[in-house]
Amino acid sequence: MTQAEVSPHGLILLDKPSGMTSHDCVQALRRLCPRRFKVGHGGTLDPFCTGLLILLLGKGTRLARFFQGMDKAYEGVIRFGEGTDTYDRDGTVVATGDPPHLSASEWQEAANRFVGPFQQIPPAFSAKRIGHVRAYEMARKGEVPDLAPVSIQIYRFEVSPVDARDLHFRLRCSSGTYVRALARDLGAAVGSPAHCFQLCRTEVGPYSVHGANPLDDPFAPSGFLPFDALDLGFPTFQATDREERLFLNGQDVAAPKGLQGREGMVKVLAPDGRFLALARVDARLLHPTVVFPEKD
């Protein structure tokens, strides 16, 4: 598939290489796209991290916050005996110590302490805001940002030792989880400084890195999804002609019985099957939140 054949609206599953920021990837895609294409992404990956980065085209960019809010899955390696200021391999080593000597079952027992909901303190080198200043801006000046704990959830945290200092892991977690901070916390739990040495994001919501496109071939059909086919994990509702007009005018529509009383969002399809809107279920009504009036 060439640039000319790609719809200006949709999603690209990109296998991000190490060493690039998410913004770098967006800029690289913009240079390859025709001028009319609008490009964004659905959730940042740290430069050292590889794996699934969701790039959004055209109308898809208006859905960025919904992709950012999806659960994520990762795999990687935590290195013990060295702690860094960024909690990853790109940082400066600020602490050293002996790696712990644990059996495979003891490692898993330590990891299991983090499964479930808990309060995580974000890294100082993060994009969290302290007032109007990013935390990383303060950290680069040698200041210690006062970061409040964030509620996250770990659904699965499977670990297996690689050697005396490295631990392989597979992780499924809620949006907002800092895997670098989890490496720090696991190190503290076993009495050793630690940092995230390797990290690959393998899943975002229903999407997997398997089949994702490399940056040198971003328009390959296997990793491109047209706008109407986007899966946000929400139930669908097909509008009638009258309901379509109401949605386009920003008006509420009566929710079918199967959706009444539920919480969350609904993907609304037009009578012809195209992606018309996202609506929030409000008691017995569907309230339009994002509407896409354009027909391609």
Catalytic residue numbers read: 46
Question: DSSP readout, 255-272?
Answer: PPTTTTT--SEEEEEPTT
pLDDT value at residue 1: 52
DSSP 26-48: HHHHHHHS-TT--EEESS---TT
CATH number at residue 14: 3.30.2350.10
Residue 155 lies in a domain: yes
CB proximity list for 265: less than 8 A, separation 6 or greater: 66, 232, 234, 278, 279, 280, 281, 289
- Indicate the residue among 187, 204, 221 that finishes a domain: 204
Q: Are residues 286 and 167 in the same domain?
A: no
Q: Cα 47 from chain centroid? A: 14
pLDDT at res. 3: 53
DSSP 293: -
The CA distance from 138 to 126, in Å, is 10
State residue 116's pLDDT score: 98
Do 222 and 175 lie in a common domain? no
E runs forming strands in the chain: 10-16, 39-41, 50-57, 72-80, 82-84, 93-96, 116-120, 129-130, 133-134, 150-161, 166-173, 194-204, 207-208, 224-226, 236-238, 253-254, 265-269, 275-282, 285-291
Shared domain for 79 and 64, answered yes or no, is: no
- 31 near 55, Cβ under 8 Å? no
User: Is 296 inside any structural domain?
Assistant: no
With H, G, I as helix, E, B as strand and everything else as coil, classify residue 56: strand
Please give the full DSSP string across 207-239, using - where no structure is assigned.
Answer: EESTTPBPTTSTT-GGGEEEGGG---S--EEE-
109 and 38 inside one domain: no
Q: Which pLDDT does position 4 carry in this prediction?
A: 46
Same domain, 116 and 60: no
Residue at 127 is within a domain: yes
Cα–Cα dist 7/80, whole Å: 46
pLDDT of residue 123: 86
Same domain, 81 and 141: yes
Provide the domain count of the chain. Answer: 3
Query: Does 194 lie in the same domain as 106?
Result: yes
If asked whether residues 165 and 76 sit together in one domain, one would say: yes
- Does some domain include residue 118? yes
Q: Are 143 and 267 found together in one domain?
A: no
Pair 183, 140 in one domain: yes
Task: For residues 145 and 260, state if they share a domain.
Answer: no
pLDDT at residue 2, rounded to an integer: 54
Cβ proximity of 63 and 232 under 8 Å: yes
- Give the range of the structural domain holding residue 143, as residue numbers without chain letter: 72-204
Is 79 within 8 Å of 195 (Cβ atoms)? yes
Cα–chain center distance at 203: 8
Distance CA 104, CA 101 (A): 10
Say yes or no: 221 and 263 in one domain: no
Backbone angles phi, psi at 37, to 5 degrees: -75, 130
> Per the confidence metrics, is the pTM higher than 0.95?
no
Could you report the average pLDDT of every consecutive run of 10 residues in the chain (296 residues)? Answer: 67 96 92 82 92 96 95 98 95 95 97 96 82 80 82 98 97 96 97 98 96 92 93 94 95 89 90 96 92 78
In a domain, 180, yes or no: yes
CATH of the domain at 246: 2.30.130.10
Q: What is the pLDDT of residue 142?
A: 81
